[in-house]
């Protein structure tokens, strides 16, 4: 093959290789370049995002941060007791490797949504007195919930306690032990009761008797400020959009005590098969696949978990996790219903108004409860107060945002998770080895004089030339040449004449006797042949 | 291209950064980032090989064993410094560096020039080429390096050695054949006086015999007419078959044959004889008989490129060329006469056509002995067989010279008297 065709072939192979590589990388990256509509993001201003909540938090003088890579970064929080981690909808599952289990062996089963290491990071944050709010419905939060002994059902909840001006997906619930009732297409205020855990213990409740001059002095309880006084009321009428329910997980948890803080009415049901119709019976079968609260008891839609007791607040505040079975409970449309109704989040005024609700009040009270811990009675947030929004499980609108998140996630994952760190160590070791073994600096140029070339003869013939027959043939040729005879003349010559020509009796005997000769004898004969004819 | 140092630094930087992240150690992370930044910044500060190169040789054509002086001029045509620039002039590995070095490390400023001078000895004949010029430039910290070539070549021919041959050594039994320019008794261009004649337009003035012209008394110009010089055609048949490679690279039958051919051609061409040469290996190459320096250059160039290959029999050569040979002209056959059963018949045919045939035969058995351990008895039998062959060839009328490896050509030619 000529050098030119080799070059062409090599070029084609290289082009093919890099073309395939670019195609593969492109296919992978393209899914991260621009994904579908994002929602529940603290940094977008659509009706289904939660930017209004973030703005309120910021306005209260609290720092807000987002985690776009992985909750593993919660380990880096200096003061978890003054931080709140908000998970609003877990839209994506994430890649995770097998991990080291509690027994020390490698475990291959990984929960959905968050990896084991990420859940551990969240649990550690909770144990360090951090507050976690998890709002999800059909997403991937069950892995996290199971760590605390709960799980998201994942089927849509329908209840007679719904907002009839909207549709049956918008369900009302009250944060109280007994579910509230309905009256004239809305929640009956007569059935309102106080929050089962916060009543009397909430920092805003403790400050209720104090005289507050300005909104600034009201600090994190400013939303309760009425006529120069904080009028804290622990009743919460929460509006949810397409919620599911929370159920006890198959494995119990020892991470704290948990209490359901909100439940459905007895008329609630779950659309198990997702056909939009609710068919219930005493037994769950093909004809009546759905579930009803009237048979199973009230469904739980919100749970609060604390390390020992959730009634503590202020300096005695412990880690707290609140699960709400609706990811959109803080969405701008419901959280800031006034703004929504005025068309702030939509193109024009919406056709149907969002009913008034206590979603904002509840969310800000959670923040106040979580962050008013070591303020010495002040309602101002601590300077370390921090609210962190988990954006790592949301689709990103920004160009290449997903790719950026992916790369950032890889970086955080491989420097925080034990198995990934082990893999990374091995990879670094291999990289070093590869550099040591493969990376060679080119040799210094120097001229090497080299003309070592030999043309060898045919060594196989040496043995042949030591045989008596060959020696005899060579000798007879010498005799013929010396006597200027042709081959024919020589062949026709009588033996006696040849003997006379040779003269030497030893050589005559050598020519005419066929027998084996020893090496010494052949040497003697060759010596005689050499001198033959020269005298 | 990254150097090993840069690769280590970069991988180390990444490792420190990641390990720093793992153990939340900011100092390690900053150190790792510094290393990565150092590599990144250095990657922008690479040197360059934008230089102009020219090479001057002391000669384009040399004889085997001569020294060649080379000067390489490197000029930085760029507006930037070259930083660490390594220049290496590629020379064939068959050439030996005598003085100086064919490489240099430079750091040339804009417009600066550097000269690299060195000399090489050329122990092998052949067609060679110096170049290309290899450049390797690095940045100051030796972190990044690039290599490139400047395709600047200088071709040259190394002719075989030419040794002096004394005239007496190659006199044969028919001396007139070897007297070079022989006078024929005809008028024509030459050196020997032939007769006086009247001047005719076109005659050179230097031919006018002024005394003879004066004696005519009538102003008639008389010129010296000369005998026409005739030249003898000499034919050289060079055996370049594969069998002629036996021996070392410097001592083998083919090398000896090329030396003999060059020396014979030089000798005869200096005597203004006409020399033809045929080289036979896998094919036959034939240079028509001619005289002068041009023919000498042609012969030497042909000999420079000769390589052992093929197995063309001598009789095929003589059958093809003998009809073109001038009658009675001498034919030199330079061959080890190994592995060619047609040699006796070819020589017989040439002798029969009236040519004086000289067979100069390097002893291939003795060349083989330089590289192979031939058992003593086998060697003696091989030698006897070779002597038989030489005797037979001499018997067909050729003058046979058995040329031993350690023997000079002039010494070998002395043996011609013995046959």
Structure confidence at residue B277 (pLDDT): 96
For residues B400 and B390, the answer to whether their CB atoms sit within 8 Å is yes
Q: Return the pLDDT at A436.
A: 87
Question: In chain B, what residues touch A462 (CB-CB under 8 Å)?
Answer: 374-375, 378
Q: How many Cβ atoms from other residues are within 10 Å of residue A249's Cβ?
A: 16
Residue A220 has pLDDT above 90, yes or no: no
**Those residues with Cβ within 8 angstroms of residue A18's Cβ, 6 or more apart along the chain or in another chain:** none
pLDDT on residue A127:
92
Q: How far is CA B20 from CA A75, A422, A425, in A?
A: 15, 14, 12
Q: Which one of A117, A446, A447 makes the best mutation probe of the B interface by having the most chain B beta carbons within 10 Å?
A: A447
Which chain B residue shows the shortest CA-CA distance from A75? Answer: B24
Cα A241 to Cα B410: distance, rounded to the nearest angstrom:
115
B103 CB near a chain A CB, below 8 Å? yes
B14 inside 8 A of chain A by CB: yes
Contact A448 B93 (CB under 8 A): yes
Q: What percent of chain B has pLDDT over 70?
A: 92
Tokens 């008034």 -> residue: A356
Instruction: Report in angstroms the alpha-carbon separations of A436 from A394, A429, A431, B26, B193.
Output: 42, 10, 9, 27, 87
pLDDT of residue A29: 64
pLDDT over threshold 90, residue A535: no
Of A383-397, A484-498, B8-22, give the lowest mean pLDDT range.
A383-397
Is A451 within 8 Å of B375 when comparing Cβ atoms?
A: no
For residue B86, list chain A residues with Cβ-Cβ distance below 8 A. 445
Report the DSSP beta bridge partners of residue B150. B133
Rounded alpha-carbon distances, angstroms, from residue A88 to B60, B254, B339, B348: 84, 91, 96, 111
B129 touches chain A (CB under 8 A): no
The pairs formed by A443-448 with CB atoms below 8 angstroms and a separation of 24 or more are A445/B86, A445/B88, A445/B103, A445/B134, A445/B136, A446/B103, A447/B91, A447/B93, A447/B97, A447/B102, A447/B103, A448/B93
pLDDT band at B419 (very low <50, low <70, confident <90, very high): very low
ipTM exceeding 0.85? no
Chain A contact for B123 (CB, 8 A cutoff): yes
CB contact under 8 A, B91 and A432: no
CB A415 within 8 A of CB B21: yes
Q: Is B307 on the interface with A (CB under 8 A)?
A: no
Region B165-190: what's the mean pLDDT?
A: 56
Cβ-based burial of A429 (10 A; exposed 0-12, middle 13-18, buried ≥19): exposed
Chain A touched by B338 (CB under 8 Å):
no
Query: Is A482 in Cβ contact with B245 (below 8 Å)?
Result: no
Q: Measured between alpha carbons, how far is A324 from A301 in angstroms, rounded to an integer?
A: 6
* A194 CA to centre of own chain: 42
Instruction: Categorize the per-residue pLDDT at A213 as very low, low, confident or very high, splitting at 50, 70 and 90.
Output: low
Identify the H or E element spanning B141: none
Q: What is the pLDDT of residue B170?
A: 61
Q: For chain A, what percent of residues have pLDDT higher than 70? A: 95
pLDDT at B166: 74
Q: Which of B134, B321, B252, B391 is nearest to A485 (CA)?
A: B391
B149 touches chain A (CB under 8 A): no
Task: Tell me the average pLDDT across B246-274.
Answer: 91
- What does the pLDDT read at residue B337? 92
Q: Is the peptide bond before A310 cis (omega within 30 degrees of 0)?
A: no
Q: Is the pLDDT of residue B111 over 70?
A: yes
DSSP code per residue over A240-274: EES---EEE-SS---S-EEEEEEE--TT-EEESS-
Q: Does B247 touch chain A (CB under 8 A)?
A: yes
- Backbone φ, ψ for residue B246 (5° rounding): -60, 130
Confidence of residue A3 (pLDDT cuts 50, 70, 90): low
With beta carbons less than 8 A apart as the criterion, state whether B367 and B406 touch: no
Count of other CB atoms within 10 angstroms of residue B330 = 24
Among B380, B394, B395, most A C-beta atoms within 10 A, so best to mutate, is: B380
Candidate ranges A43-52, A67-76, A388-397, B70-79; pick with highest mean pLDDT: B70-79
Q: Is B375's Cβ below 8 Å from some Cβ in A?
A: yes
Chain B residues with CB-CB distance to A428 below 8 A:
11, 14-15, 18-19
Q: What is the pLDDT of residue B155?
A: 95
B341: contact with A, CB 8 A cutoff: no
CB contact under 8 A, B4 and A416: no
| Shortest CA distance from B5: residue in chain A | A441
Size of interface A-B (CB pairs under 8 A): 130
Query: B91–A439: do the CB atoms touch at under 8 Å?
Result: no
Answer yes or no: is pLDDT of A221 > 80. Answer: yes
Residues of B in contact with A460 (CB under 8 A): none
Instruction: Indicate the residue of B247, B380, B391 with minimum beta-carbon distance to A481.
Output: B391
Whole-number pLDDT of residue A184 = 67
- Based on C-alpha coordinates, what's the Rg of chain B? 33
Instruction: Report the residue of chain B nearest A427, measured CA to CA.
Output: B15
pLDDT band at B172 (very low <50, low <70, confident <90, very high): very low
- Between residues A134 and A204, the one the model is more confident about: A134
Q: Does B301 touch chain A (CB under 8 A)?
A: no
**Interface check B391 vs A, CB under 8 A:** yes
At A86 the pLDDT is: 95
CA A349-A355-A358 angle, to 5 degrees, is 125
What span, in angstroms and rounded, lies between the C-alpha atoms of B119 and B100?
7
Exposure pattern of A63-99 as b/e (b: 16+ CB <10 Å)? ebebbbbbbbbbbebebbbbbbbbbbbbbebbebbeb
pLDDT band for position B190 (50/70/90)?
Answer: low
B380 and chain A in contact, CB less than 8 A: yes
pLDDT in tens, B30-65: 999 999 999 999 988 878 888 999 999 999 999 999
User: How far is C-alpha A62 from the geometric centre of its chain's CA atoms?
Assistant: 30
Mean pLDDT of B83-90: 93
**In chain B, what residues touch A437 (CB-CB under 8 Å)?**
none
Q: What is the pLDDT of residue B229?
A: 61
Is A375 a residue whose pLDDT tops 80? Answer: no
pLDDT tens track for A155-204: 999 988 888 888 888 998 888 878 888 776 677 777 777 777 777 778 88
- Whether A394 shows a pLDDT value over 50: the answer reads yes
The C-alpha atoms of residue B81 and residue A270 are separated, in whole angstroms, by 78
CA distances from A520 to A166, A460, B374, B384 (A): 124, 22, 17, 18
Enter the tokens of residue A183.
């009256």
Lowest mean pLDDT among A206-215, A367-376, B408-417: A206-215
Q: In this predicted model, what pLDDT tens digit does every residue of A18-64 receive, in sequence order?
A: 888 888 777 666 655 445 567 788 888 888 899 999 999 999 889 99
């Amino acid at each position: 093959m000529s050098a030119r065709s080799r070059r062409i072939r090599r070029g084609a192979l290289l082009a093919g290789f890099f073309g395939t590589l670019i195609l593969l990388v492109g296919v992978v990256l393209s899914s991260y370049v621009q994904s579908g509509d994002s929602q529940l993001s603290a940094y977008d201003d659509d009706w289904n995002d939660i930017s209004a909540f973030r703005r309120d938090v910021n306005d209260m003088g609290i720092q807000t941060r987002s985690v776009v890579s992985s909750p593993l970064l919660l380990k880096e929080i200096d003061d978890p007791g003054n931080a709140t981690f908000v998970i609003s909808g877990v839209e994506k599952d994430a890649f995770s490797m097998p991990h080291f289990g509690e027994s020390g062996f490698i475990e291959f089963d990984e929960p959905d949504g968050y990896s084991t290491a990420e859940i551990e990071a969240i649990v550690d944050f909770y144990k360090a007195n951090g507050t976690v709010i998890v709002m999800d419905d059909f997403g991937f939060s069950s892995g996290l919930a199971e760590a605390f002994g709960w799980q998201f059902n994942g089927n849509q909840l329908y209840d007679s306690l719904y907002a009839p001006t909207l549709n049956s997906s918008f369900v009302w619930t009250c944060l109280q032990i007994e579910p509230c009732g309905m009256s004239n297409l809305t929640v009956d205020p007569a059935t309102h009761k106080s929050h089962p855990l916060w009543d009397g213990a909430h920092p805003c409740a403790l400050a209720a008797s104090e005289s507050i001059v300005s909104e600034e002095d009201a600090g994190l309880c400013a939303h309760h400020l009425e006529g120069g006084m904080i009028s804290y009321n622990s009743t919460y009428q929460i509006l949810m959009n397409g919620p599911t329910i929370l159920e006890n997980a198959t494995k119990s948890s020892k991470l704290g005590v948990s209490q359901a803080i909100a439940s459905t009415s007895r008329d609630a049901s779950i659309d198990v098969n997702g056909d939009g119709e609710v068919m219930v019976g005493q037994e769950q079968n093909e004809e009546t696949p759905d579930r009803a609260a009237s048979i199973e008891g009230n469904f739980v839609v919100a749970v609060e978990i604390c390390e020992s007791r959730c009634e503590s607040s202020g300096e005695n505040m412990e880690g707290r996790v609140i699960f709400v079975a609706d990811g959109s409970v803080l969405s701008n449309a419901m959280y800031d219903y006034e703004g929504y109704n005025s068309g702030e989040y939509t193109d024009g005024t919406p056709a149907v108004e969002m009913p008034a609700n206590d979603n904002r009040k509840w969310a800000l009270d959670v923040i106040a409860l979580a962050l008013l811990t070591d303020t010495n009675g002040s309602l101002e947030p601590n300077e370390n107060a921090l609210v962190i929004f988990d954006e790592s499980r949301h689709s990103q609108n920004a160009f290449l945002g997903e790719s950026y998140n992916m790369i950032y996630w890889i970086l955080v994952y491989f420097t925080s998770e034990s198995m990934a760190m082990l893999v990374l160590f091995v990879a670094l070791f291999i990289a070093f080895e590869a550099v040591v073994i493969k990376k060679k600096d080119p040799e210094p140029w120097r001229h090497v004089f080299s003309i070592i070339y030999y043309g060898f003869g045919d060594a196989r013939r040496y043995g042949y030339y030591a045989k008596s027959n060959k020696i005899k043939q060579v000798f007879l040729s010498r005799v013929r040449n010396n006597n200027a005879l042709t081959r024919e003349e020589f062949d026709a010559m009588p033996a006696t004449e040849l003997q006379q020509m040779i003269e030497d009796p030893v050589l005559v005997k050598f020519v005419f006797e066929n027998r084996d000769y020893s090496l010494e004898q052949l040497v003697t004969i060759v010596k005689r042949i050499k001198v033959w004819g020269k005298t | 291209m990254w150097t090993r140092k840069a690769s280590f630094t970069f991988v180390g930087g990444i490792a420190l950064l990641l390990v720093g992240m793992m153990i939340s150690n900011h100092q390690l992370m900053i150190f790792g980032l510094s290393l990565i930044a150092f590599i990144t910044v250095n990657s922008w500060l690479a040197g360059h090989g934008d230089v102009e190169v020219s090479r001057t040789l002391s000669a384009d054509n040399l004889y085997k064993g001569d020294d060649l002086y080379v000067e390489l001029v490197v000029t930085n045509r760029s507006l930037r410094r070259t930083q660490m620039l390594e220049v290496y002039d590629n020379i064939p590995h068959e050439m030996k560096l005598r003085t100086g070095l064919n490489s240099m490390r430079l750091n040339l400023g804009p417009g600066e020039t550097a000269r690299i001078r060195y000399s090489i000895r050329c122990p092998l004949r052949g067609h060679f080429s110096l170049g290309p010029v290899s450049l390797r430039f690095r940045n100051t910290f030796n972190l990044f390096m690039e290599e490139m070539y400047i395709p600047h070549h200088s071709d040259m021919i190394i002719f075989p050695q030419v040794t002096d041959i004394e005239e007496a050594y190659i006199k044969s039994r028919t001396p007139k054949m070897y007297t070079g320019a022989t006078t024929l008794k005809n008028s024509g261009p030459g050196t020997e006086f032939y007769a006086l004649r009247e001047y005719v337009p076109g005659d050179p003035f230097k031919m006018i015999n002024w005394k003879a012209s004066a004696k005519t008394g009538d102003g008639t110009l008389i010129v010296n007419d000369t005998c026409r010089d005739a030249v003898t055609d000499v034919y050289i048949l060079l055996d370049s078959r594969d069998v002629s490679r036996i021996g070392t690279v410097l001592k083998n039958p083919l090398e000896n044959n090329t030396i003999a051919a060059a020396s014979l051609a030089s000798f005869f061409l200096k005597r203004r004889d006409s020399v033809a040469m045929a080289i036979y290996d896998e094919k036959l190459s034939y240079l028509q008989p001619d005289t002068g320096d041009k023919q000498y250059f042609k012969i030497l160039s042909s000999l420079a490129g000769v390589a052992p290959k093929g197995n063309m029999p001598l009789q095929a050569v003589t059958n093809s060329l003998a009809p073109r040979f001038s009658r009675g002209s001498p034919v030199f056959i330079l061959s080890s006469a190994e592995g060619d059963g047609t040699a006796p018949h070819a020589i017989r045919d040439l002798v029969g056509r009236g040519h004086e045939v000289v067979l100069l035969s390097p002893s291939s058995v003795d060349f083989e002995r330089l590289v192979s351990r031939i058992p003593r008895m086998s060697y003696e039998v091989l030698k006897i067989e070779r002597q038989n062959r030489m005797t037979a060839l001499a018997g067909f009328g050729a003058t046979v010279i058995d040329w031993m490896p350690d023997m000079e050509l002039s010494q070998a030619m002395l043996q011609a008297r013995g046959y």
